[in-house]
Amino acid sequence: MFADSNEVQRRQMLCAYCPLMIETFGIRRCKVCGCPIQSKTRLENEHCPVGKW
């Protein structure tokens, strides 16, 4: 299931300022788990691997 839009926004903000976020070929990924930020932050049961969200 998808997380609600406020939660998605909150997560994406945290990732945007996270030094562990990398961007390659225009795609933002989490350096720790390798997941694309765009989809990872939308899924309700996903979590940040270092406990930021």
- Least separation in angstroms between residue 44's CB and ligand SF4 is 15
* H or E element that contains 37: helix 37-40
- Least separation in angstroms between residue 26's CB and ligand SF4 is 16
**Residues of this chain that bind ligand SF4 (CB under 6 A):** 14-15, 18, 20-21, 30, 32, 48-50, 52
- Least separation in angstroms between residue 40's CB and ligand SF4 is 6
Which residues, in sequence order, are CB contacts of 15 under 8 Å at separation 6+? 21, 28, 30, 37, 41, 48, 52
